[in-house]
Chain A
Amino acid sequence: MERKIRVLVAKPGLDGHDRGAKVVARALRDAGMEVIYTGLHQTPEQVAEAALQEDVHVVGLSILSGAHMTLVPRIRALLDERQLRDVLLLVGGIIPADEAAELKSKGYAAGVFTPGEPLDAIINFIRAQASPAEV
């Protein structure tokens, strides 16, 4: 039997806007993935550690405080340190287009999703990019 895709939905940083994180978590669960939600106000270390402990294929970060250019590279580095290079790192939130492009081109995030993105786009992206068979 094929393993289910396991996703960690995480809220790093200090902002408490969890509407997006919760809606996405639920959509991924309804799409048949196993979803773990960290809850709010996580440090980058806590997020990376949870990704390791939960043995996930995907980490989805939600950041609406403007701290993405600090937090995303940091979390990518902490995942890599834990030998989690294959874990797909995605980001959602209020992220200007040029910064989204920079996060992707520098390899910090595999995908960046901003307001107005349909839930299906996120689900399809994960299905295409994260195959648990390869992990």
Chain B
Amino acid sequence: MGEEDFTLKIREEQQLWREQQEQQQERPEPFTTVSGEPVNDLYTPADIAGLDYLKDLGFPGCYPYTRGVQSNMYRGRLWTMRQFSGFGDAFDSNRRYRYLLEQGQTGLSVAFDMPTIMGYDSDHPRALGEVGRCGVAIDSLADMEILFDRIPLDQITTSMTINGPAAILWCIYLANAEKQGVPLEKVGGTIQNDILKEYIAQKSWIFPPEPSMRLITDIFAFAARRVPRWNTVSISGYHIREAGSTAVQELAFTLADGFAYVEAGIKAGLDVDTFAPRLSFFFNAHLDFFEEICKYRAARRIWARRMKERYGARDPRSWMLRFHTQTAGCSLTAQEPENNIVRTTLEALAAVMGGTQSLHTNSMDEVLALPTEKAVKIALRTQQIIAYESGVANTIDPLAGSYFVEALTGRMEAAAEDYFRRIEELGGVLAAIDCGFFQQEIADAAYSYQQAVDRGERVVVGMNRFAGGELPQIELLRIDPAVERKQVERLQALREKRDAIAVAGSLERLKKAAAGPENLVPYILEAVKLYATEGEIVAALKEVFGEYREKPLF
């Protein structure tokens, strides 16, 4: 029997089977993914009739990487357990990092406070009340020295969630590594540096798109020459999803951003294979187990094909989509927060089954505050139990070949391709941002989701179903209000102590370079080594670049 006959035969038999089952009643809830995609009652070989194993799936570590980017995946090395963390001042966060490393965490991930993220020093009027609140306050190299005190930067890789001022925080990190005696070639880590998703979803921007993209391509060029182990952009779907997108939107918008960075690099005159191997990705792990796994598998396949076929990359490392995952903060509930441990476990499991390279598991209390030490330990233990006790890391891509998983992977790929066409019709990612396309798509999806929750169609256990009505009674982390005052005092003491003339000179040279075509990274590096503050460098660049403003819509 040929493949077509086989498929026809299955469809006929399935029809007969269905006619016999028609009397049975189904539960009233809609059978859709958490993104609202319909899910059939049953999948068979007929649903994956066109799938070509060698072409569409292949082998792990081989094009198109659907089954994973390493040939031995977790049998070689487990994913990096990397808890996103930072609060208060550099002393507080250094203590937390050393605690996490003692507990078996294998990489660091820095959360900065809002003033640092937005490019304001801790003593700026706009920083009032925000210093050290939702991350660590870093104003200058002096703070970074404290943050990584007794943490050897040649032995640990660090991820930094920083975007608008990414080049500055990266330079501060590099300057600190040099002070520790670590040569730049040996320094490894990631800066998020994904400004496009800031305009789309996370909304922590500073400069307008054009100079922001120039800073990014400057980083590509500098890293390729001097810091080869650094991941220069972590192209992020996480925030797009948290802002309310569906899984397909997260997949499509993130990859579209990735293509835009590749095109910008090529346009800046760089060979694609000099920078594309250091692009990495960052996805959300939401609650819909299979949809998430299929999202990661589809992402790898789409990226590999585009990089090879459209952008002409020849280095296999340019084809590989490597990614970090964080479980979905937006899936957690303030009611009965202990249930969040279970949600996070399911999400983490999906990330592992989808082949993630590193993982952050949210703590149960993050819907209420930054996590306590106890809560973050449970979150780390969740990963360790999946890794060492559940057995899921024994074999590679264990769900491949499932009729459902392969059918959904293919469907998500096709839906993403539809979005790519729409974005192209709008004139590309920047034009689509400018006309509010992504922002409106996400706002619509977020509103539909909330309405489904409010109507009870989307069940949230302990919140809109099986609700006990009791308010949570768990210990929360408090940020001492004295943190802000002490940070401001240290910053002002630094300004007194440093060579003010040298700092002013470095800022002038930076401004002049920003107005021309030169790579800005060496200028920023020079300024941070003289203890110029982040806010001073951002202010200097704002004079040349201006600031971004968004049209508010809802």
Give complex CA distance A66, B371 in Å.
Answer: 13
Q: Tell me, yes or no, whether A69 is within 8 Å of chain B by CB.
A: yes
The residue on A at minimum CB distance from B549 is A39
Contact partner of A40 (CB less than 8 A), chosen from B203, B334, B443, B460, is B203
Give complex CA distance A118, B456 in Å.
Answer: 10
A26 touches B443 (CB 8 A): yes
Q: Tell me, yes or no, whether B552 is within 8 Å of chain A by CB.
A: yes
The interface on chain B, measured as residues whose beta carbon lies within 8 A of the other chain's beta carbons, has a size of: 48
Contacts of B443 in A (CB 8 A): 22-23, 26
B203 touches A38 (CB 8 A): no
Contacts of B198 in A (CB 8 A): 16
Give complex CA distance A26, B553 in Å.
Answer: 10
One of B3-11, B124-132, B355-363, B406-414 at the interface: B124-132
Contacts of A35 in B (CB 8 A): 554
Shortest Cβ distance from residue B512 to the other chain A in the assembled complex, whole angstroms: 29
Q: Tell me, yes or no, whether A71 is within 8 Å of chain B by CB.
A: yes
Interface residues of B in 103-155 (CB under 8 A from A): 114-115, 117-118, 120, 126-130, 133-134
A65 touches B114 (CB 8 A): yes
Give complex CA distance A64, B454 in Å.
Answer: 22
Q: Tell me, yes or no, whether B471 is within 8 Å of chain A by CB.
A: yes
| Interface residue SS majority, chain A | loop
Give complex CA distance A23, B367 in Å.
Answer: 18
Interface residues of B in 501-554 (CB under 8 A from A): 550-554
Contacts of A55 in B (CB 8 A): none
Contact partner of B128 (CB less than 8 A), chosen from A25, A38, A70, A94, is A70
Count of CB-CB pairs between chains A and B under 8 Å? 108
Q: Tell me, yes or no, whether B244 is within 8 Å of chain A by CB.
A: yes
> With A13-B129, A70-B128 as given contacts, are A26 and B333 in contact (CB-CB < 8 Å)?
no
Interface residues of B in 188-209 (CB under 8 A from A): 198, 202-205
B369 touches A14 (CB 8 A): no
Q: Tell me, yes or no, whether B447 is within 8 Å of chain A by CB.
A: yes
Contact with B along A12-31 (1 / 0, CB 8 A): 01111111011101110100
Contacts of A43 in B (CB 8 A): 126
Contacts of A9 in B (CB 8 A): 554
A115 touches B367 (CB 8 A): yes
B133 touches A37 (CB 8 A): no
Q: Tell me, yes or no, whether B479 is within 8 Å of chain A by CB.
A: yes
A18 touches B454 (CB 8 A): no
Shortest Cβ distance from residue A121 to the other chain B in the assembled complex, whole angstroms: 9
Contacts of B117 in A (CB 8 A): 14
Interface residues of A in 93-121 (CB under 8 A from B): 94, 96-97, 114-116, 118-120
A119 touches B130 (CB 8 A): no
Contacts of A71 in B (CB 8 A): 129
Contact with A along B432-469 (1 / 0, CB 8 A): 00000000000100110011011000001001100000
Give complex CA distance A115, B332 in Å.
Answer: 9
B367 touches A94 (CB 8 A): yes
> With A15-B114, A19-B244 as given contacts, are A67 and B130 in contact (CB-CB < 8 Å)?
yes
Give complex CA distance A16, B244 in Å.
Answer: 14
Contact with B along A56-96 (1 / 0, CB 8 A): 00000000111101110000000000000000000000101
Give complex CA distance A114, B130 in Å.
Answer: 19
Give complex CA distance A40, B479 in Å.
Answer: 24
Contacts of B446 in A (CB 8 A): 19, 22-23
B554 touches A21 (CB 8 A): yes
Query: Chain A interface residue count: which class?
Result: 35 or more
A14 touches B454 (CB 8 A): no
Q: Tell me, yes or no, whether B243 is within 8 Å of chain A by CB.
A: yes
Give complex CA distance A21, B553 in Å.
Answer: 11
Contacts of A23 in B (CB 8 A): 244, 443, 446-447, 450
Contacts of B454 in A (CB 8 A): 118-120
Q: Tell me, yes or no, whether A4 is within 8 Å of chain B by CB.
A: no
Q: Tell me, yes or no, whether B368 is within 8 Å of chain A by CB.
A: yes
B447 touches A66 (CB 8 A): no
Contact partner of A96 (CB less than 8 A), chosen from B447, B460, B476, B551, is B476
Contacts of B554 in A (CB 8 A): 9, 21-22, 25-26, 29, 35, 37
Interface-centre pick from B198, B476, B479, B554 (highest chain A CB count, 10 A): B554
Q: Tell me, yes or no, whether A41 is within 8 Å of chain B by CB.
A: yes
Contact partner of B243 (CB less than 8 A), chosen from A18, A67, A116, is A18
Interface-centre pick from A16, A26, A38 (highest chain B CB count, 10 A): A16
Contacts of B115 in A (CB 8 A): 14
Q: Tell me, yes or no, whether B94 is within 8 Å of chain A by CB.
A: no
A19 touches B203 (CB 8 A): no
Shortest Cβ distance from residue A115 to the other chain B in the assembled complex, whole angstroms: 5
Contacts of B552 in A (CB 8 A): 37-40
Interface-centre pick from B127, B369, B447 (highest chain A CB count, 10 A): B447
Contact partner of B333 (CB less than 8 A), chosen from A38, A41, A115, A120, is A115
Contact partner of A97 (CB less than 8 A), chosen from B332, B471, B550, is B471
Interface residues of B in 269-306 (CB under 8 A from A): none
Q: Tell me, yes or no, whether B347 is within 8 Å of chain A by CB.
A: no
Shortest Cβ distance from residue B253 to the other chain A in the assembled complex, whole angstroms: 15
Contacts of B335 in A (CB 8 A): 116
Contacts of A67 in B (CB 8 A): 114, 128-130, 133
B204 touches A16 (CB 8 A): yes
Q: Tell me, yes or no, whether B242 is within 8 Å of chain A by CB.
A: yes
In the assembled complex, 8 residue pairs joining A and B whose CB atoms fall closer than 8 Å, in A order, are A13-B114, A14-B115, A14-B118, A22-B554, A40-B550, A66-B369, A115-B332, A116-B333
Residues of B within 8 A of A (CB): 114-115, 117-118, 120, 126-130, 133-134, 198, 202-205, 242-244, 330, 332-335, 367-370, 443, 446-447, 450-451, 453-454, 460, 463-464, 471-472, 476, 479, 550-554
Residues of A within 8 A of B (CB): 9, 13-19, 21-23, 25-27, 29, 35, 37-41, 43, 64-67, 69-71, 94, 96-97, 114-116, 118-120
Given contacts A22-B554, A64-B134, A69-B129, 12 further A-B contacts (CB under 8 A): A14-B114, A14-B118, A15-B114, A16-B198, A16-B205, A23-B446, A25-B554, A35-B554, A39-B550, A39-B551, A96-B369, A116-B335
Q: Which 8 A-B pairs have the closest CB atoms?
A: A70-B129, A16-B203, A39-B552, A66-B133, A14-B114, A67-B129, A22-B554, A25-B554
